[in-house]
Amino acid sequence: MYVILGASGNTGSVVANRLLEHGKRVRVVGRDVKKLAAFAERGAEAVAADVTDSEALTRAFAGAEGVYALTPPNVSSDDYRAHQDHVTEAVARAIEATGVKYIVTLSSVGADKSERTGPVLGLHFMESRLADIPEINVLHLRAGYFMENTLPQAGIIREFGMMAGPVRPDLPLPMIASKDIGSAAAEALLHFNFYGQGSRELLGQRDLSYAEMAGIIGKAIGKPALAYIQLPAEQIIMAMTQMGMSKNFASLLCEMSESLNNGHMKALETRSESNTTPTSFESFVQEVFLPAQRGKAAGV
């Protein structure tokens, strides 16, 4: 039996589907079982549990051999770091209470650092907390920068005719499609080929800067001169709070961007076959960005 947290989300849905394809017993977890109906139709057990509730997670983890764990973002939280620690503690207690032996987590590049990494700091503390649990096998997937982070750019392009954000235009980022993280997590859970405490970086198909991504998106949407500009943190925080994020979360994102910009937060591994994943940014734009952009434009 495998338990998948965040099963209706970007990465968890891929993990759950892949395990079901392999005929595995899967328990999918989310706040609302209705959102998990497609998995239930394919034979999964759907369970409603809040990831901050250790007793509910303990019930959800009962009898599991393997768990896919993540900290679902709560971008409207006024204390995002406290939210992350709350989730980590609930997950850790459920692991301790049930004795589940194999855990794959969604962590991040930069989780090695103990300060100034914004939301990634919560993943640093998640890794440390799980390290305190004896006799478990944990693989922390330290993912690069999600390609999905570019989706809000569709609205910015529509309104201002350009892309904008807090990251330097020329900074190469390990851009990864979230579905490739789900695939890597599923592979690890299918083979249980990790022992003790470990981490593995996932760096996407290649490094790309925002300037390069603007070129690729611009070509795909028929605006080949599309530019990206870096904006100061105050302006970004104002825009993000207007989009519904808390000031606290928006400030943490700016802290993270600053640490990317100045090199404090970066991949530790050199690129290799094992940390490179298949989906190119060009494919992501065709398969995810453009449909999302058209949906938004049509008011879907």
Ligand X SMILES: NC(=O)c1ccc[n+]([C@@H]2O[C@H](COP(=O)([O-])OP(=O)(O)OC[C@H]3O[C@@H](n4cnc5c(N)ncnc54)[C@H](OP(=O)(O)O)[C@@H]3O)[C@@H](O)[C@H]2O)c1
Q: Which residues bind ligand X (CB under 6 A)?
A: 6, 8-12, 30-32, 35, 50-52, 70-73, 106, 108, 119, 123, 143, 145-146, 149, 178
The nearest distance, CB 87 to ligand X, in angstroms, is 7
| Residue of 139, 123, 131 whose CA lies nearest to 194 | 139
The nearest distance, CB 288 to ligand X, in angstroms, is 12
Sign, CA torsion 190/194/196/197: negative
The nearest distance, CB 161 to ligand X, in angstroms, is 25
| Residue of 111, 24, 27, 88 whose CA lies nearest to 62 | 27
What is the C-alpha separation between 230 and 235, in angstroms, rounded? 10
Mention every residue, 6+ apart, whose C-beta is less than 8 A from residue 132. 92
CA angle, corner 228, sides to 257 and 253, nearest 5?
Answer: 20
The nearest distance, CB 218 to ligand X, in angstroms, is 22
Closer by beta carbon to ligand X, 91 or else 216: 91
Closer by beta carbon to ligand X, 225 or else 278: 278
3-state secondary structure of 157: helix
Closer by beta carbon to ligand X, 82 or else 219: 82
Closer by beta carbon to ligand X, 13 or else 137: 13
The nearest distance, CB 184 to ligand X, in angstroms, is 12
Q: What is the CA radius of gyration of the chain?
A: 19
Closer by beta carbon to ligand X, 161 or else 269: 269
